Structure 1
């Protein structure tokens, strides 16, 4: 199986679905070089080079640079989805969600419900998230809890190149609006990815590694932090199971409950701020459904309840680390 980057896997998924279905179109800022600009077309491929090469293959009618107005092009994408197209719109940074929140929360997420199930909205909104790139508080947040809270949206957080391709193809083929969140620090990650098209169902968590002493649940990039912690714990004779939920809405509650009941000790790792986070949500679900099986309190390892710092040393301290996960796991094992 070929080794491909996270960035390349997403590009392949877009290529495959645009070739398969002429209704799939792309919309966003700087996808080809800038709307109305005089520069070389296809020079950018989006701010992270993900859509490079698609303009030449599918033309400007299907790969559309938009004005710098998320409210305008996300609204246009939602409307296009209602007419039978399958738009994949790109928000450069999830932090710009506030500019187009009405179009997502009050419109796209509610079309199916408000029109009695007769309206399909096959819309994918890709957005980057996460700290680590020294981009400051306004380009670095992890806002997946806000999106997970909204009924009518599906929220996807792939952590590997393999998952990125399969989950994006699944998202494009879905008839409901999907928020597809890509961590900026994963774009250069390399892993095995098939050349063929394939899908990964939503609400199907990935068991990264099995274990018997403590369960580590890592969201998005935090699955890798949890895995690094599990390796450190293993060097100290502690067997840690690691699960990546893959999607936060729908959430694979069945798998999480099954492993929490079997192991009894749980640490949840989430880059979002702690209040009303997905970590807090999963903790509440597990406490409600398998409280008697727990051998200690559920630990959450999250970012602090502050904006993301710009200073490199503070940003590094802000991001949940493997050392903090190890400490949380070891504290649970000391609980009687």
Structure 2
């Protein structure tokens, strides 16, 4: 955690904020700090007494910390120094679809797309080229109707972190990425703060190869672990929010939209991209935006309704220009990729939305 981001963004206790009392968090102790970067420490709330760990540079700012730690203990404590041969043996022993295999596949797909264009060993035929996320983000930023107000930027569901880096390069502003995936947040933190990327790139089946290379760092970029539907920030903290492939990965998309609107300053902008690839494992069926039979099947129409005046409005965001679509591809292995058509949506926290 960069101390500059902590002091500039002034995070609040996520549990107290949900209860209506946004109590600022304080640094209770710093156990490992290097060059204004806290690698290990504790954040505390004087309101409810909660303590939030900073682990490997990642502050964990979620309302129900005990549940998060229980659900993610494997990811938080797994070794990161396994040699390729040992990692392969463990993956084979636990089998396809096991915890280690699932992590490696997930990190392979997103680590490759976010950072493989910096990998000097990347060569040979591929079904797609890395950097899909960069190209989609560029379309979102180019499509903003107006320049966002002055202020920091929040990148929700930042994954392996490339969008955070691109946002700092494009805007020159302080940018914070948040994600709930511990493995991906670690890749992002290593890249943005440490200047290196290391991941196992999937070739096919259980066959992976280790990739490690340097990437540029940026003092304006940082990554924290936080929940998009319970953001640990006071109202009106950010000028711009971006979210790529987020809405169909949270348990309550409508609540996420309301939270984004809450933390944006008046006139703040929001740029979204989502393929509406609904999964019951990520989002309970009752909270899907569309994806059902009959009139409730059109996800795009329901998202537009959530971002418009009316009884279905999800908080303070209102559409600021017509939506668009673009292709999005995710690499699975040497011979396979997922191909999506993702919806691009732009909205703003307008005076009208504040009064409605």
In the superposition, the TM-score normalised over structure 2's length comes to 0.30
- Say which structure is richer in helix: 1
